[in-house]
Amino acid sequence: MTPPKPTSSCPAAPAPADPRCPVDHGARPAPPPRPASLPPGPRGWPAVGALPLLLRDIYRAPERLRDRYGDVVRVPVPGRAELILVNDPDLVVEVFNRRASDYGKGEMNYALFSSERHLPLPVSDGEPWKRMRRLLSPKFGARQLEAVSPLVREAIEERIDRWQEHVGSGRPVDLDGPWSDLTMSVLLRSMFTTRIDDRTIDEAVVAFRTFAYYAAFKMIATNAPRGLPLPYQRRGERAIRWIHAFLDRMVRERRAAQLPDGGSDILQMLLDAVDDDGRPMTDEELRSELFGLIFGGFETTASALSWTVAMLDLHPDVAATLDDEIAALGDAPPTAADLDRLPYLHAVFDEAQRLQGGPMFSRTPIEDTELGGHRVPRGSIVWISPYALHRDPRHWRDPERFDPARFARDEIHKGAFLPFGLGPRKCMGMRLAYMEAAFALVTARRRYRFRLAPGFVPRHQFHISTGMKGGCPVTLHPPRAAALPR
């Protein structure tokens, strides 16, 4: 039987067909979707790709790439994995929060602690991360931090008292050193209660700084050909051995002490922690987690405090407002209960961290995925630059200006401000860092005024956490000096 010819009332080609037509034409199949393409980006140079651009200025490079190619950029670099730069806060929230389970920490982050058989919480993934997060997270709540706050305050006061010898001397002091000693002292006191002698604190500062340099090179080398010798390798491995021996000794001594009433420090909290099966942490897990906590809280806080001091000296109006808020507390030492009475200090510290800006967070998609309509292959390195996000004029009014009031005045996109990360992987020690910074700034501002060396301009220095080129050179003066030298 010959089928009837299509009529004008029932054209065979277009769909839908006229319902009066006796012929079942069927639905025309939709064309297959075009696969998403890789993001746009520079071609780069033969063999080295865009690596020279990144090495020239790891901070400004993401801004230049964003302005030229958009919010998702493929950055050609030598190595085994694609490097995808993401500059859109909404996509940052997608990677860090809404689809956090689709992304792992990846080889670059694992390299930080490749010396450890147990990866500590900041760089672990999957079930090990979930188990350790359940164990550790309750130990960093408000009540637990209030318990360790006297230890934090004591360590800060002891260290800041020592700065008195520099007052009025006129000799510049690189404040990076004293802040590093202070933050290490605070961390060790809050973790172990016992007063650690000065020599051990100095050795710990050197060991963790050396490890940080070594770890930075290890991270960079994860995408390079295997087998290349690394700068700082011997010194880095020696630092790791010192750190292991020190932490093993602290755990061993605490187990031997068998404190009858437990304790309020972080080590005791970790020793007392058990998972859902009633299983405590092993000594190896304890050592790795203590390693990760000290590493994550040492240089980051010290660098942020140096940036804060520099910004306050450059902006005396902000410093005056902060001093008024501190004066309203009275003369008693600060306590955890005072933190809610220091909103401007919190904003000052946040604004200093915004301008400080870290060079990189990274994640790795577990499977092929898309971001912003572009293909992102499995195993890629998704690069998020806090520095670029913190200074993007689309999300910050007058972004180069130091303006703590913006945190009370403006609506801040949570994906555009990342001093502690975002989502389920947000830094667990954030509350401790804010408490330490508040106690340190209150104590220091009550006792001293800091004047930057003449002509000093803060410039970014690449490291695990962003420092300042040349450190933070200051002279110290009494808090009520009539006129400080410029």
- Residues belonging to the binding site for heme are 427
Tokens of 173: 């002091």
Answer whether the bond into residue 16 is a cis peptide, omega within 30°.
Answer: yes
- DSSP-derived secondary structure for 445-472: HHH-EEEEPTT----EE-SSS-EETT--
Helix segments in 165-298, DSSP class H: 176-192, 198-221, 233-257, 266-272, 283-297
* Cβ partners under 8 Å of residue 479, min gap 6: 445, 446, 447, 448, 449
In angstroms, the CA 368 to CA 383 distance is 16
Quickly tell me which residue has 């290349």 as its tokens.
228
In angstroms, the CA 253 to CA 77 distance is 48
Beta-bridge mates of residue 7: 10
DSSP conformational letter for 27: P
- DSSP-derived secondary structure for 308-347: HHHHHHH-HHHHHHHHHHHHTT-SSPP-GGGGGG-HHHHH
Q: Which residue numbers belong to the known binding site? A: 427
